[in-house]
Amino acid sequence: MKDCLIIEGGHPLNGRVRVSGAKNAGLVLLVASTLADGETILDNMPRIRDVEVMVQILNELGVNARWNEDGSLSICPPPAGSMKVKTSYELSKKLRASNLLLGALLGREREAVISLPGGCDIGSRPMDLHIKGIQALGAEVDIEHGFIYARSKTPSGARVYLDFPSVGATENIMMMASRTPGQSVIENAAKEPEIVDLANFLNSMGARIRGAGTDLIKVEGVPELKACRYAIIPDRIEAGTYMVGAAISGGDVQVENVIPTHLHPIVAKLQETGAIVEETDQGVRVRAGRQVLPVDIKTLPYPGFPTDMQSQMMALLSLAEGSSVIVENVFENRFQIVDELKRMGASIQVEGHTAVVRGVKTLFGARVKATDLRAGAGLILGALAARGETTIENAIHIFRGYENIEEKLIQLGARVKTK
């Protein structure tokens, strides 16, 4: 299996790139499809490793999930009462989002046995808020031998306050609540666009969810949901990655198939670095500025600056004319790109949740390693601007979340190959 990306730096990205469907929306919608009876068809689903693993997990549970010739994905769960409720360790360890089956299975089968999930190694990723939510809705929960055992014989709607607006916990509670009798209320809910997409999708299937996109979500449980056809929103993080790609490589890229409001936090920071960003009829056009200006960044839940764009911005700021401060507030171990960027000549110091990035004149090609998905994306961006050739090992992390990345970069004029 190809697991290295080799990039020759110094070739600016120019032209147009079409953004794929959002990974994080696609994963949760795939799981949420199992709450309905009949065949759901999802359009704009990205064909990436994480989605392929989720399809395998669903197939293992007895769901018929398969790709159609037109690129859409069909999901047809088995008759009510006959879906398996236990996820395997082997597949779950490859995908953190496998934990989303907790809410979907409880909503559908009233029972779920979920292998404690794996995923990106970006810090401890506990499940306490997910568990608090499903318990409030009436689930009994035990954790034994690496599995969460949850059962809800007589679930009923309830109020849940999340101590932190966790994306996954909000999604799990929404899915369970959509088929739980009575009204459920999620306070301090996550507001990410992917949450809104999940609510729109569930409502298209007959759910009654209001307030998604605000911190108060209300769900009236319904007895059944009906399959539908639905198109997933574009991936704002993929879009942001190509936007930074234009800025860091001295290029000019038209990023197409985007929802501009989802990109505002990213656009605001890119403009502060001196990049020229304009909304066009087709999407967003980004042109590199004459120089990269230093900016300070704090990652926060939406609409704050996304943690999933932090590594990419760090790559850009490592070439700024001055020092930038990056504070990571969402995940505790999300500076793993730092040591790899340093191998390319960057000057970065980390103290706890804060990184001080002192801009250097040039990055140099080197052999580096993608430690997680977004760190891998950041390394690609560094490599585009670097002098000489960069080999990124463990590129499998990148293929987990970026559809056709090699082809898209080549189409924009980058010199990239896989090995």
CB of 310 to ligand UD1, least distance (A): 9
CB of 96 to ligand UD1, least distance (A): 6
CB of 175 to ligand UD1, least distance (A): 13
Asked if 9 contacts 389 with a C-beta cutoff of 8 angstroms, the reply is: yes
SS3 340: helix
What pairs with residue 36 in β-bridges? 225
List the interface residues with ligand UD1, window 385-414 (CB under 6 A).
none
Residue nearest to ligand UD1 (CB): 168
Residue number with CB closer to ligand UD1 (254 or 336): 336
Give the separation between CA 277 and CA 287, rounded to whole angstroms: 6
Q: Is residue 24 involved in binding ligand UD1 (CB under 6 A)?
A: yes
Q: Does residue 4 have an active-site annotation?
A: no
**What does the CA dihedral 297, 299, 300, 301 come to, rounded to 10 degrees?**
130
Give the separation between CA 62 and CA 212, rounded to whole angstroms: 30
Q: Is residue 198 involved in binding ligand UD1 (CB under 6 A)?
A: no
CB of 235 to ligand UD1, least distance (A): 11
CB of 366 to ligand UD1, least distance (A): 27
Q: From the list 27, 106, 176, 288, which residue makes contact with ligand UD1 (rule: CB under 6 A)? A: 27
Q: Is residue 32 involved in binding ligand UD1 (CB under 6 A)?
A: no
* C-alpha distances in Å from residue 148, one per residue of 53, 95, 166, 170: 20, 16, 18, 18
- Alpha helix locations (H) across 205-282? 236-249, 264-272
Query: Which residues belong to the annotated binding site?
Result: 23-24, 96, 125-129, 308, 330
Q: From the list 87, 188, 273, 307, which residue makes contact with ligand UD1 (rule: CB under 6 A)? A: 307
Q: Is residue 51 involved in binding ligand UD1 (CB under 6 A)?
A: no
Residue number with CB closer to ligand UD1 (370 or 416): 370
Asked if 234 contacts 197 with a C-beta cutoff of 8 angstroms, the reply is: no
CB of 374 to ligand UD1, least distance (A): 8
Helix (H) or strand (E) holding 73: strand 73-76
Asked if 133 contacts 190 with a C-beta cutoff of 8 angstroms, the reply is: no
The pair of three-digit structure tokens given for residue 376, joined into one six-digit string: 């891998």
Residue number with CB closer to ligand UD1 (130 or 369): 130
Helix (H) or strand (E) holding 53: helix 49-60
Which of 4, 76, 120, 228 is catalytic? The answer is 120
CB of 167 to ligand UD1, least distance (A): 4
Length of the chain: 419
* C-alpha distances in Å from residue 408, one per residue of 103, 123, 137, 241, 287: 35, 30, 44, 12, 18
What pairs with residue 295 in β-bridges? none
Residue number with CB closer to ligand UD1 (125 or 397): 125
What pairs with residue 348 in β-bridges? 357
Q: Is residue 128 involved in binding ligand UD1 (CB under 6 A)?
A: yes
Asked if 336 contacts 363 with a C-beta cutoff of 8 angstroms, the reply is: no
Choices 1-9, 37-45, 118-126, 402-410; region in contact with ligand UD1 by CB under 6 A: 118-126
Choices 121-129, 267-275, 287-295, 408-416; region in contact with ligand UD1 by CB under 6 A: 121-129
List the interface residues with ligand UD1, window 309-368 (CB under 6 A).
330-331
Number of residues that bind ligand UD1 (CB under 6 A): 20
Helix (H) or strand (E) holding 202: helix 193-204
List the interface residues with ligand UD1, window 77-116 (CB under 6 A).
96-97
**Residue in the block written with tokens 């507001």:** 191
Give the separation between CA 159 and CA 133, rounded to whole angstroms: 9
Q: From the list 197, 235, 308, 340, which residue makes contact with ligand UD1 (rule: CB under 6 A)? A: 308
Choices 71-79, 119-127, 251-259, 275-283; region in contact with ligand UD1 by CB under 6 A: 119-127
List the interface residues with ligand UD1, window 136-195 (CB under 6 A).
164, 166-169
The pair of three-digit structure tokens given for residue 400, joined into one six-digit string: 């987990």
| Residue numbers annotated as active site | 120
Contacting residues toward ligand UD1, per CB under 6 A: 24, 27, 96-97, 124-130, 164, 166-169, 307-308, 330-331
